[in-house]
Amino acid sequence: MTLLAALAGALVAGGLVLLVAELTRRAKPAAVPSRLAISPRKLTAAAKRRALFAMIAGLAMLVVTGWPVAALAAAVAVVFIPRLTATRAARQRTAVLEGLEQWTRRLADMLTASRGLEDALEVSARTAPAAIAAPVTALARRLSARVGTAQALRAFADEIDDPAGDRIVAALIIATGQRGGGVQGILAALAELLAKDVAARREIEADRAQHRTTLRWIVAFIGGFTLFAIVNKAYSAPYGTFAGEGVLALVAGLYAAGLAWLHRLGAIPVPGRFLDEPPQYSDDYQSEPIAGGVR
């Protein structure tokens, strides 16, 4: 009977993990990893730490309660709850957009000062905002290495990894072919749109601060109730039975689905990009580019 209860709990909890993963997943077109994102080495280290903490939490819950479903739910909670309550990604994206707006405005001013496009792009790396300093510096390095302007710009768009960056890069790619004087006005207009977008995002983030606080209180309540159930053996004794494990799995699934739904309500949707995958280069920028384009 204990083995059957553990197996049933494992199956239900596995479905719970898949449900939460599907509810929190966002579709995103395939792209080369962004330089603004966490490096694979750091990502692997973070994933290992989360897996270790999840295993410790699950084993501790199993030792204290003897409930397989509770142990798996604790392990899942250690992995997913920090993601549900974190706001770092939204703040970083807003900072990138703000930096992109400032860089675009300065680039338009440089072009107005009768600089060539490639020269202005290289010089812009000296005063690039901190949030986009790495991709702008990489763009200048590619141009200095005589990589084609269009190809270097597409690589830059991939590193920014945002549709706003795609719009700016598309305008610059068109400018490389036409060499007309209208690119300054286009860049200024795009910078103005970005400034409005950043302002709107800051207002939305301020309005949703209360929502995130509510979500954290709900998580704290669930944690407190879980602690009460563990301490009060008389109250939680039925969960040690086969039927109780099934009920516990259902309750945990409902809580997880509710938290995931609340998280999606408080998240700002990210629109898809419209530039194709950029060309690939070796570290010395000597390899042949893979063709990319605009859909």
Which tens digits make up the pLDDT trace of 114-170?
567 888 888 888 888 999 999 999 999 999 998 888 899 999 999 988 888 888 998
Q: How far is CA 246 from CA 16, 228, 241, in A?
A: 12, 20, 9
Which tens digits make up the pLDDT trace of 69-91?
888 888 888 888 887 777 777 78
Q: What is the mean pLDDT of residues 214-231?
A: 85
Question: Cα(56)–Cα(274) distance, rounded to whole angstroms?
Answer: 43
Question: Cα(259)–Cα(82) distance, rounded to whole angstroms?
Answer: 12
153-162, 209-218, 227-236, 285-294: range with lowest mean pLDDT: 285-294
167-171, 240-244, 283-287: range with lowest mean pLDDT: 283-287
**Pick from 87, 63, 60: which is nearest to 75 by CA?**
60
Q: Give the pair of three-digit tokens for residue 157.
A: 């768009």
Q: What is the mean pLDDT of residues 208-213?
A: 76
Question: Cα(183)–Cα(188) distance, rounded to whole angstroms?
Answer: 8
Handedness of CA 39, 40, 42, 47 (dihedral sign): positive
Domain definitions of the chain by residue range: 2-86+209-265, 91-204
Q: Give the pair of three-digit tokens for residue 208.
A: 């949703």
Q: Is the pLDDT of residue 103 over 80?
A: yes
Q: Is the pLDDT of residue 61 over 80?
A: yes
Q: Is the pLDDT of residue 248 over 50?
A: yes
Q: Is the pLDDT of residue 210 over 70?
A: yes
Q: Is the pLDDT of residue 38 over 50?
A: no
Angle at 282 between CA 144 and CA 155, to 5 degrees: 65
For residue 26, what pLDDT band results from cuts at 50, 70 and 90?
very low
For residue 295, what pLDDT band results from cuts at 50, 70 and 90?
very low
Question: Cα(177)–Cα(154) distance, rounded to whole angstroms?
Answer: 15
Residue type at position 168: I
